[in-house]
């Protein structure tokens, strides 16, 4: 009976560890992917003329 209980405890610990690692890795993976996609979007849609226009608008509003 004790052997069965020990095996169950070991399986429960393994299960908890697997769930924790899966959640941990998925969290890190999601953060890396989202940051990478955001970086790609910024590169793709970065228009230097628009930056200059925004800067000019701010200079006008400050004067």
pLDDT at 1: 62
Whole-model pTM above 0.85?
no
Please give the DSSP secondary-structure letter assigned to residue 45.
Answer: T
Dist. CA 16–CA 32, nearest whole Å: 24
pLDDT tens-place string over residues 3-59: 777 777 887 788 778 888 888 888 888 888 888 888 887 777 776 666 666 666 666
């Amino acid at each position: 009976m004790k052997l069965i209980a020990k095996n169950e405890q070991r399986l429960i610990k393994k299960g908890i560890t697997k769930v924790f690692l899966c959640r941990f890795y998925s969290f890190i993976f999601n953060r890396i992917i989202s940051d990478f996609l955001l970086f790609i979007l910024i590169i793709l849609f970065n228009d230097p003329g628009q930056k200059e226009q925004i800067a000019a608008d701010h200079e006008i509003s400050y004067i």
